[in-house]
């Protein structure tokens, strides 16, 4: 099951804003909330427990599942034990996120808790989940979620992210990751988060929907959470509009499309032919949609088309008229290609994940 999530930080006392934010997100289909207990002042533990319990109850009434970030220090402060998670159960926690594990035995005992709480491990570290599974812990109780990184240049490299995610997915463990709002004056567990809270360094500063659509294009991220608060209404809506079932990509349009071109390009799903070449991805769907359509030539003055250019074959090559193509390597302009536009630079990371046999949607 795919999920969108937000992060809420009750310790700052913005209750009215937090409740309004949760309500908006719920109405848009968000279903996970991340909360963090690592930044709670130890001098205010009892008040924090009461506040978090109230927040979690409100979140549950909106249909949210709530994950609480903890570590060994939090356990000690709250009097929790690896064999007794009742304090978290009383707060209403659904998922206990372990920022750092408790060792093989400790992790095993936590996962086997009698409180019915699922356990989420830090996917950005190698926490030995394969050993837990080999020792018979219930797989349905285990989740994983990557870290977020407040400091510039410290987010995960793409290679590291992919390797760690693939390792977990190969064990049938559900994996989540964070994207970051670009709203002003956002915050996280620590105030004044000026550089956002993404998982991937390459996502920092990019439009939030591009970050999320890139994660979707990887095909193995089940939960996407906004790390900082508060995302704008527009950002929340942009995430709620994302199709989790296939890659979606924007185009910088060169011109206004005619009605036939638009009908072909904006179908829900372009299936990329499995026999695509080194130079082009060809849409199988577009040929079926374009049957019996005329595609008036709209010849571009470009001598060559480059990687990321999107084309529609016109009537100068009638047999293939209406076929949508994405250029993957430089080709000459032969006069039978209508130039639609180019995939922008900050969307090329999504194109990099599209392969022969993929499904793609072009956004208006």
- Retrieve residue 27's tokens: 């109405």
Instruction: Using 70 as the pLDDT threshold, list the residues of the chain that sit under it.
Output: 126-127
Cβ(363)–Cβ(310) below 8 Å: no
Phi, psi of 165 (to 5 degrees): -65, -45
Query: Largest alpha-carbon pair distance within the chain?
Result: 76
- Per-residue pLDDT at 323: 98
Q: In this structure, is the dihedral angle defined by the CA atoms of residues 225, 160, 104 and 134, taken in order, positive or negative?
A: positive
Give bridge partners of residue 325 from the DSSP assignment.
282, 311
Tokens 């799903």 — which residue? Answer: 269
- Per-residue pLDDT at 180: 98
- Retrieve residue 220's tokens: 């193995």
Domains of the chain: 3-244 (3.20.20.70), 252-362 (2.40.100.10)
Tokens 């427990």 — which residue? Answer: 49
CA distance 232 to 235: 5
- Per-residue pLDDT at 299: 82
- Per-residue pLDDT at 127: 65
Q: In this structure, is the dihedral angle defined by the CA atoms of residues 72, 11, 89 and 62, taken in order, positive or negative?
A: negative
Closest CA to 99 of 128, 82, 129, 120: 120
Taking each helix axis as running N to C, give the angle between helix 15-27 and helix 233-240, from 0 to 180 degrees, rounded to the nearest 10. Answer: 30
Phi, psi of 52 (to 5 degrees): -65, -40
């Amino acid at each position: 099951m795919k999920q969108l999530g937000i992060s809420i930080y009750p310790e700052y006392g913005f209750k009215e804003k937090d409740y309004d934010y949760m309500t908006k997100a719920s109405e848009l289909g968000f279903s996970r909330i991340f909360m963090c207990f690592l930044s709670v002042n130890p001098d205010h533990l009892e008040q924090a427990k009461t506040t978090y319990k109230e927040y979690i109850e409100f979140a549950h009434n909106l249909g949210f599942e709530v994950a609480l970030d903890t570590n060994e220090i939090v356990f000690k402060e709250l009097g929790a034990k690896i064999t007794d998670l009742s304090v978290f159960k009383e707060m209403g926690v659904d998922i206990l996120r372990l920022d750092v594990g408790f060792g093989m035995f400790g992790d095993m005992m936590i996962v086997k808790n009698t409180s019915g709480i699922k356990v989420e491990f830090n996917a950005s570290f190698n926490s030995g989940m394969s050993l837990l599974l080999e020792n018979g812990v219930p797989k349905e109780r285990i989740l994983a979620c990557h870290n977020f990184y407040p400091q510039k240049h410290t987010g995960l490299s793409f290679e590291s992210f992919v390797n760690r995610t693939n390792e977990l997915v190969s064990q049938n463990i559900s994996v989540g990751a964070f994207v970051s709002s670009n709203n002003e004056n956002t915050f996280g567990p620590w105030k004044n988060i000026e550089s956002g809270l993404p998982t991937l360094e390459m996502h920092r500063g990019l439009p939030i929907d591009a970050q999320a659509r890139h994660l979707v294009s990887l095909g193995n991220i089940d939960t996407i959470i906004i790390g900082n608060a508060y995302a704008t209404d527009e950002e929340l809506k942009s995430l709620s509009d994302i199709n989790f079932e296939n890659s979606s990509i924007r185009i910088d349009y060169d011109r206004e499309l005619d009605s036939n071109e638009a009908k072909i390009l904006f179908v829900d799903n372009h299936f990329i032919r499995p026999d695509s070449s080194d130079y082009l991805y060809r849409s199988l769907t577009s040929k079926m949609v374009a049957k019996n359509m005329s595609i008036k030539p709209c010849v571009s003055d470009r001598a060559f088309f480059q990687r990321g250019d999107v084309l529609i074959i016109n009537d100068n090559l009638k047999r293939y008229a209406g076929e949508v193509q994405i250029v993957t390597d430089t080709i000459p302009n032969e006069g039978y290609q209508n130039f639609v536009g180019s995939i922008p630079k900050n969307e090329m990371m999504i194109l990099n994940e599209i392969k022969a046999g993929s499904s793609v949607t072009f956004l208006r």
